[in-house]
Amino acid sequence: DTGVSQNPRHKITKRGQNVTFRCDPISEHNRLYWYRQTLGQGPEFLTYFQNEAQLEKSRLLSDRFSAERPKGSFSTLEIQRTEQGDSAMYLCASSLGSGKGSDGYTFGSGTRLTVV
């Protein structure tokens, strides 16, 4: 499978702990996105990278959240001091953007975070 890969698939953590998720996009894709999805809702935008540059962060992304994409390849999303409200599916997506504006994403299978 040469699609978008996310690890781990599931993560259960205690409130207050730090967690880190990894996303490996499709290799030739220059754009990478993080979204959060809660039950019964559509995905909500968190942040976006073009190559290694983080170009936009949602107001949903508090100071406890940080994302990186070193060398423009894989990306990590870290949540510090997790809270129960952070429980959600964290989706990564990538796309091959050749111009301005959005294009079709390929999503990964997500990391389901449960904070107990």
Partner 1 sequence: GENVEQHPSTLSVQEGDSAVIKCTYSDSASNYFPWYKQELGKRPQLIIDIRSNVGEKKDQRIAVTLNKTAKHFSLHITETQPEDSAVYFCAASWPNDYKLSFGAGTTVTVRA
Q: Specify the residue, 65 or 105, whose C-beta has the smaller distance to partner 1.
A: 105
DSSP symbol at 102: -
In the bound complex, what is the minimum distance in angstroms from residue 103's beta carbon to partner 1?
Answer: 8
Q: How many Cβ atoms are within 10 Å of 113's Cβ, its own excluded?
A: 21
Shortest spacing between CB 17 and partner 1, in angstroms = 25
CA atoms 46, 65, 10, 92: torsion sign: positive
Name the residue nearer to partner 1 (CB basis): 17 or 60. Answer: 60
CB-nearer residue toward partner 1: 33 or 115: 33
Q: Whole-number minimum distance, CB 51 to partner 1, in Å?
A: 13
Preceding peptide of 43 cis, ω within 30°: no
